[in-house]
Every structure is written in C-alpha cells, then in structure tokens.
C-alpha cells in the first residue's frame, strides 16, 4: 500500500488522475473516454442548475428555493475553480514523487525510518477513511430524507412546481412522467458530488502529509548521517551533500506546492467559517426529521476545519525540527568543513516551511480556533436576526 492508494482511486473516479500514469494503452484509452463523458455530464449538470436557478428567479418562487439553488450554483462554481487550479498547476502529477520516496524507504532497510513511514501511512489511512465516512453519511442522509418524503407523499401528489426532489435541477420534460430519470440523475449527482468532495480534500491532505513525512525522515537520517557513509556517499562530506540536496528538494516540494494551492487554502479559509455557522444555524432551526443530516454535515465541516490546520502545522513543526536533528548529531566529532555544511543546514532549518492562506498568513493550528470563533460569531448574529 501507498499514501497515494486511496486518493488515486478517488481521482480515477473523477477522471483527474494523470493519463500518463496509466501504462496500459488500452486502459488509458478507455480512461480518456470515461474522462470526456464526465466532462459532458458536468456541463449538463451545470447548465441544469443555472437554468433552474434563473427560472426560479424569473417566476418569483420562494426566497428559500432561490437561495438554496443559488448556494448550490456557487458551490459548484467554487469546486470547479478548485479543480481548475489543481489541473492548471498539475497537482495530481506531484504524486509521481511518492514512488521515488517510498521506494527509497523500502530499500533503506532502516527500521526507524520504516516504522515512521508505516505509522504515517496508518494515520493517513484513518484520515482518508474518516473523510470518506463523514462525506458518505452527509450525502446519504440528505438523499434518504428526500426519498422518504417522496415515498410518503407519492409521485402523483408531489408538486414539482413548489418543491424540487433533492436538487433544484431543470429538466426539459415532464418530471412526474419520467420520475425514474429524475431520481436516478439526482442520486448519481449526489454520489459524484460526494466523490468530488473527497477528491478535493484527500488530494491536498495527502500531499501535505507527504511533505511532513519527507521532512521527518530527513530529520531522522540527519541525526545519524555519519552511519550512511558508503550508502549515500563514499565519505562523510559526500554523504552530507546528499542530505543537503534532499533537504533542498523537500523545501522546493513544499514551496512549489504552496504556490500551487495557496488560493485553494484561501477559498477554504473564507468558506469554512460561513459553512460552520450556516450548519450551526441549520441545526437550531431544522426539523427533527432532518436533524441527523445536520449533525453529519456539521461533523464533516468540523473535520475539514481541523484537519487542514493540523496537518499544515505538522509541516511547519517538522521543518523546524531539521535544525534540532543537526544539533543532536555528532557534529562535534567532525572537521571544520563538515561543521560548516551542518551549520548551513541548521540555519536553513530555522526558517519554517508553511502553507499560506492565499498571499496572507500561514495555515497553522491556531487557524482552526480562529475559524470556529468566527463561525460562532456568525451563527450568533444569524440567530439574533432570525429571532427578530
């Protein structure tokens, strides 16, 4: 198993796994066909959502329906922007680096390094599964609520002019007559929406976890760099140059990844407070039948808030610990040339590597607390307005 195993499956399902990574020509061809089919589906979905939103506005439907439809349109646009950023900056292609690093770990025969890798792999697997379960519960409970309503009211009695089924979607035919098509399209849409949410989260989470892993392994090896003479260099000087290059590559990986995803981080930061506040308000005002869905949605939102802050903070901490590793090494036994090289690593290690929120501040553990505080303030304001 690899850190990329679960994200790879999800990216294949949404057609954003790089085709060049698929070695079999036949499979690559079928995958490209599937990818283009998904592009057509997304285009139809976007057109249907926007058309229905415009129709609701033109015919002066309820503010609740217009607001719900509009928020969904905005969500689709933001998710599309995220995917465009990922594709434009070739974020999925960065998974190629995993093979190089994981092969090096397997070939190292270093029990300490391998233990670290498998520990990180296990916790990353828990994180991936947690995101999938939280997303599945949220989308499933949302779908089940509308299916139960449809079952209780009946297809014939359901007034599509006053209430949509699941999503506000435009269909160029009689919805009652082709109810099976409406239900099937909505269910497929919510399924693909859930997968897209998982893809957007796991893609960035896994790359950040991998960034921290590279720095952590470098730290362990630097602490005992003198034991790698003969494996990574013919003498201590050459071995140390090897680790300097590794450090530079780790720094470059984090910095280029940050440049590629910093505006995705900005979108997440701006939306998280509003999303958590909206869900808190929804929980307070929701009907009892929708309460489980509201709780699942809150759990998913909180997971997103805390995970991105936690793993980003880990990268910062691991980058600073590289300097500690140099200090813990037997530097005092080396000649002046080696001491100078170690001093260079130590100085660079004192400058933290961070993922930033757009061009602004770093994403750290405290960011999650700030997000929750802002969400509480928004929710309180919404409740005061609602009670008036």
Residues in the chain: 388
Q: What is the pLDDT of residue 105?
A: 87
Name the β-bridge partners of 35.
none
Domain residue ranges of the chain, discontinuous segments joined by +: 5-387
Say if CB 160 and CB 211 are below 8 A apart: no
**Closest Cα partner for 265 from 300, 312, 297, 195?**
312
- Check the CA dihedral 191-196-198-199 and report its sign: positive
pLDDT tens string, the chain, 388 residues long: the values are 789 999 999 999 989 999 999 999 999 999 999 999 998 998 898 899 899 889 888 988 887 788 878 888 888 888 888 888 888 889 999 998 898 888 888 888 888 999 999 999 999 999 999 999 999 999 999 899 888 888 888 877 777 777 777 888 888 888 888 888 888 999 999 998 899 889 989 999 999 999 999 999 999 999 988 888 888 888 888 989 999 999 999 999 999 999 999 998 888 888 888 888 888 887 887 777 778 888 998 899 999 999 999 999 999 999 999 999 988 888 888 888 888 888 888 888 888 999 999 888 899 989 999 888 888 888 888 787 767 6
Instruction: Please state, in angstroms and rounded to a whole number, the distance separating the CA atoms of residues 285 and 258.
Output: 39
C-alpha angle 100/6/264, rounded to 5°? Answer: 85
For 17: left if phi > 0, alpha if psi spans -120 to 50, otherwise beta; the answer is beta
Which pair of structure tokens corresponds to residue 311?
């793993």
Instruction: Please state, in angstroms and rounded to a whole number, the distance separating the CA atoms of residues 102 and 45.
Output: 39
Locus of tokens 């770093």: 362
pTM over 0.85: yes
Which pair of structure tokens corresponds to residue 215?
């720095």
Instruction: Please state, in angstroms and rounded to a whole number, the distance separating the CA atoms of residues 283 and 295.
Output: 7
- CB-based contacts of 190, cutoff 8 Å, min separation 6: 139, 142, 143, 166, 167
- Radius of gyration for the alpha carbons in the chain, expressed in angstroms and rounded: 25
Locus of tokens 């630097």: 222
How buried is residue 70: exposed, middle or buried, by Cβ count under 10 Å (0-12/13-18/19+)? middle
**N-term to C-term CA, the chain:** 56
How many C-beta neighbours within 10 Å does residue 261 have?
23
**Closest Cα partner for 282 from 39, 38, 47, 64?**
64
Instruction: Please state, in angstroms and rounded to a whole number, the distance separating the CA atoms of residues 314 and 17.
Output: 26
Say if CB 253 and CB 214 are below 8 A apart: yes
Phi, psi of 370 (to 5 degrees): -60, -40
């Amino acid at each position: 198993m690899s850190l990329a195993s679960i994200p790879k499956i999800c990216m294949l399902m949404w057609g954003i796994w790089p085709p060049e990574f698929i070695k079999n020509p036949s499979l690559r061809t079928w995958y490209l066909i599937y990818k283009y089919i998904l592009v057509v589906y997304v285009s139809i979905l976007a057109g249907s959502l926007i058309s229905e939103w415009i129709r609701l506005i033109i015919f002066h439907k309820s503010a609740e329906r217009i607001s719900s439809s509009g928020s969904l349109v905005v969500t689709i646009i933001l998710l599309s922007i995220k995917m465009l950023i990922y594709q434009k900056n070739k974020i999925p292609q960065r998974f190629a680096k995993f093979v190089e690093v994981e092969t090096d770990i397997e070939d190292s025969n270093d029990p300490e390094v391998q233990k670290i890798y498998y520990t990180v792999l296990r916790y990353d697997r828990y994180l991936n599964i947690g995101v999938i379960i939280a997303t599945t519960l949220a989308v499933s409970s949302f779908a089940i609520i509308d299916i139960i309503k449809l079952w209780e009211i009946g297809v014939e009695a359901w007034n599509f002019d006053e209430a949509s089924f699941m999503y506000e979607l435009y269909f160029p035919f009689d919805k009652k007559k082709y109810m099976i098509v409406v239900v099937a399209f909505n269910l497929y849409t919510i399924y693909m929406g859930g997968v897209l949410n998982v893809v957007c989260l796991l893609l960035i989470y896994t790359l950040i976890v991998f960034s921290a892993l590279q720095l952590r392994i470098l730290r362990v090896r630097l602490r005992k760099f003198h034991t790698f003479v003969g494996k990574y260099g013919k003498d201590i000087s050459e071995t140390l140059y090897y680790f300097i290059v590794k450090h530079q590559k780790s720094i470059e990986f984090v910095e280029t990844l940050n440049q590629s995803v910093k505006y995705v981080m900005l979108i997440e930061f701006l939306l998280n407070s509003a999303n958590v506040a909206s869900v808190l308000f929804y929980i307070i005002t929701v009907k009892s039948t929708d309460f489980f869905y509201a709780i699942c949605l809150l759990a998913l939102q909180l997971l997103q808030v805390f995970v991105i802050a936690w793993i980003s903070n880990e990268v910062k901490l691991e980058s600073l610990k590289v300097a500690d590793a140099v200090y813990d090494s037997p530097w005092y036994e080396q000649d002046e040339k080696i001491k100078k090289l170690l001093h260079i690593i130590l100085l660079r290690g004192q400058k933290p590597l961070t993922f930033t929120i757009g061009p602004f501040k770093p994403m750290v553990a405290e960011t999650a607390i700030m997000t929750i505080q802002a969400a509480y303030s928004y929710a309180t304001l919404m409740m005061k307005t609602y009670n008036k």
